[in-house]
Structure 1
Amino acid sequence: MKKTLLTLLLGLLAVTGYSQARFDIHGGMSMANITNSEADMKVGYTVGVGMDYAFNEMWSFQSGLNFTSKGCKVSEGGVDTKMNPVYLDIPLLAAVKFNITEGNRFVVNFGPYVGFGLGGKMTVEASGAEVGTKLFKKVGKNDEAMMNRCAVGLQYGVGFELDDHYLINLTGQYGFTNMIKESFADESNKNLAFLLTVGYRF
């Protein structure tokens, strides 16, 4: 996984040498959950930098580095459980842009993403007491981490480019890989997330 991330980063750096590439900073809110569970959606954050390489006025390749909190939460019988993993996501997207007026565009993008679990923990709170377990560190009798660091999935979104600089995006993610390892979960548990972000392109 580390070799894959390094290869992607080197590829992004190579693209920066072309004048068609523009960069942005963005941030906003994440709303995440996992499949096949009775958990509730958890609200978190997402921040990152993006790259837009224009092939022409309509088509672009978009990527970047995004730090996003995901997971879920469950409240039952006076016990509150939260899973708070933080991932570095690298999307690899095709983007289609439709001109609305001069400098203003409606954008649709889609493609795969890869991610790497950086940290985070699961906390369980009951009767005023709280205990926590790190999600990507070895724990328990199985002597392995509860969650997989590697994440692969599909990303898709819609948004607006305003005044040729300002960005508003609504993004969805659906994971193809299990977040929780089989030794800790009986069913598949794919990532589900929606991201609402604003940004500025230079």
Structure 2
Amino acid sequence: MKKILFTSLLFLSFGMMTKAQDFRVGATAGYNLSSPSGYNSGSGFHVGLKGELGLPQVTKGLYLDFGLMLSSYGWKSPGYYYSDNYTSSSVEAMDNNTLDYKLSPYYLNIPVHIGYKFSVGRNVNLFFNAGPYFNIGLFGKSKITLTDNNGISLTKNVSDNVFSDKVLNRFDWGLGVRAGAEIARHVQLSVGYDWGMKNINKMVPDSKNRTFTASFAYLF
């Protein structure tokens, strides 16, 4: 119920700001490369809504940048050497094998940044923005893979929902930066980086999200 109320308030805020003269909204999508501390990197994506609210009353070029996106992350643990027998209902016992975990969580991603934009030519602006982001865990799976000395692998599904099963913390937050170019006032291309400030894994100490992003947006 709290998540539904929170999301409803965000959409209400979007609706109210569309009446503002300096407000624009559009769609955005892009690529995520996640490298949480203690894990190997993996690919994901983001897609959703993006908004901008100009703040010319403060200074020309200043704006508020925010979004509401479905964002996927992917990573896996390093290959651990496992010398004892590993047994389960679906994985045969193996000796001298390697073991790794793979996780693929999906979040509701909400960045709220302050940015500055300036012209570098006809119909071309450069921009930079920075600020906090907030992640609410929605769903995602985790798997375990064992590989023996002959290269034969067996994979087992460990969790069908890493948040409901309390493998990962549902709430995450951090700081992000974005830089890019705006063309003809509508098309935006950007790259950025997010530094997670909260431990995401209940079983691994000091495991925080680290994510490189590349995005395309179209604003109306």
TM bin, normalised by shorter chain, reads 0.7 to 0.9
Alignment-derived partner of residue 103 in structure 1: 123
Residue 89 of structure 2: aligned partner: none
Q: What corresponds to 1:12 in structure 2?
A: 14
Is the radius of gyration larger for structure 1 or structure 2? 2
- Per the TM alignment, residue 175 of structure 1 is displaced from its structure 2 partner at its CA by 1.1
3-state SS of 2:101 partner: strand
* Percent of pairs with identical residues: 25
2:188 counterpart residue number? 167
Deviations 1:139-165, CA, capped at 9 Å, x for gaps: xxxxxx111111111111101101211
Q: Distance in 2 between matches of 1:60 and 1:153?
A: 20
Matches of 2:164 and 2:208, distance apart in 1: 20
* Structure 1 spans left out of the alignment, 5+ residues: 139-144
Query: CA offsets per residue over residues 35-61 of structure 1, 9 Å max, x none?
Result: 2x1x21111111121001112340111
CA distance in 2, matches of 1:6, 1:172: 28
Question: TM-score w.r.t. structure 1 length?
Answer: 0.86
Equivalent residue runs for 1:34-183 within 5 Å: 34-35=36-37, 37=38, 39-56=39-56, 57-76=60-79, 77=81, 78-126=98-146, 127-132=152-157, 133=159, 134-138=161-165, 145-181=166-202
Offset of 1:74 from its aligned partner? 2.9
Match of 2:30 in 1: 28
* Structure 2: stretches of 5+ with no match in the other structure: 82-97, 147-151
Name the SS of the counterpart of 1:157 in structure 2: strand
Residues of 1 paired with 2:213 and 2:182: CA distance? 17
Higher strand fraction (1 or 2): 1
C-alpha distance in 2 between matches for 1:14 and 1:29: 30
CA distance in 2, matches of 1:10, 1:172: 28
1:190 counterpart SS class: coil
Counterpart of 2:77, as a letter, is V
Q: Deviations over 1:107-163 (max 9, x none)?
A: 00001111100110111123443212131123xxxxxx1111111111111011012
Give the TM-score normalised by the residue count of structure 2. Answer: 0.80
Distance 1:60 1:200, change over 3 A: same
Q: How far did 1:17 drift? A: 2.0
Distance (Å, rounded) in 2 between the aligned partners of 1:178 and 1:101: 43
User: What is the SS of the residue equivalent to 2:169?
Assistant: coil
